[in-house]
Amino acid sequence: MPIENYKPQKPFLVGIDSDGCVFDTMELKHKECFIPAFIRHYKLQSVSNYARQAAEFVNLYSKSRSSNRFVALIEQLDWLRRRPEVIERGTYIPKPEGLINWVAQATRLGNPALSEAVEATGDPDLAQALRWSEDVNSAMATMVRNVPPFPSVQKCLQRFDEAADMLVVSAAPIKALESEWQEHGVARFVRGMYGQETSTKQETLSLASHYEPNHTLMIGDAPGDYKAALANKCLFFPINPGSEERSWQRLHDEGIDRFLFGTFSGEYQKQLLTMYEKYLPSEPPWDVVEV
């Protein structure tokens, strides 16, 4: 459903991230799909261990967790280029200026838009990023399956369903979202799925403007989820990385009632954010140099 055609059906709105939030797929996707393709397409075999650490830090274990894949690709190359051990080995780490410029200007950061840009410009940085991204999608289609939602997710969705419109708010490709949500029987709870081809998380959560204050909630595991919620005056329930099961259980046991009965904002929201802030660092655990 296009955002411009959206109309509320229930008094509350709940946005829900997917990878790493509903499904325990982050480690699987990045370690088995994204990172092998990263090493292969960017010729990082001689520094594969450091490349893996940079990619895992950006995508799994830092405040950049769950960033758009092309934004994350630029960042992980940057960290790798600044690592002393990599510099000492003399391995060439590219700075993809074409991709950096495209990310700064494009309104949709997905494969379809990137493919159009490659066709229009012939830029080798864009072409390389597209080959990598298509390889990632192919690997995920083969690898990612039989990964059910975290425990307590379905009972939370059932509780919300009584009073809230629910939307998937993700940076993942729509096809992957539909496949995962339908495979595990939870697609029936959501009114729509919004991913990298349709809108940013912030754009999707602009639908909060259709609801009363404090009647909108974003559930996510990444700082980008919180930023999108904050920009649209939504409340935020964090699914803490590494503590996902406990987070969903807490949402079920206390968070949902607080949201539906008006006691979520204020001190409770502050407590959740204070705890969440401790989980993800902004700097890597290794030395970096300016280059």
- Over the stretch 158-194, which tens digit does the pLDDT of each residue have? 999 999 999 999 988 898 899 989 999 999 999 999 9
Residue 289 binned pLDDT confidence (cut-offs 50, 70, 90)? confident
If asked whether residues 153 and 271 sit together in one domain, one would say yes
Q: Report the chain's mean pLDDT, rounded to a whole number.
A: 94
Structural element, H or E, at residue 12: strand 12-16
> If you ran DSSP here, which 8-state letter would residue 233 be given?
T
For residue 267, the model assigns a pLDDT of 97
Asked if the model's pLDDT at residue 32 lies above 90, the reply is: yes
Among residues 112, 143, 174, the one where a domain terminates is: 143
Q: Report whether pLDDT(1) > 80.
A: no
Residue 62 has which token pair? 């830092």
- If asked whether residues 122 and 112 sit together in one domain, one would say yes
User: Is residue 282 assigned to a domain?
Assistant: no
Q: What percent of the chain has pLDDT over 90?
A: 82
Pair 138, 177 in one domain: no
Instruction: Tell me what the mean pLDDT of segment 65-72 comes to.
Output: 92
Query: What are the C-alpha distances in Å from 207 to residues 86, 111, 167, 246, 280?
Result: 45, 25, 10, 29, 28
75 or 25, greater pLDDT: 75
- Could you give the angle at the alpha carbon of 148 between the alpha carbons of 144 and 149, nearest 5°? 120
**Domain count along the chain:** 2
Better-scored residue on pLDDT, 138 or 2: 138
CATH number at residue 162: 3.40.50.1000
User: Within this chain, do residues 64 and 179 fall inside the same structural domain, yes or no?
Assistant: no
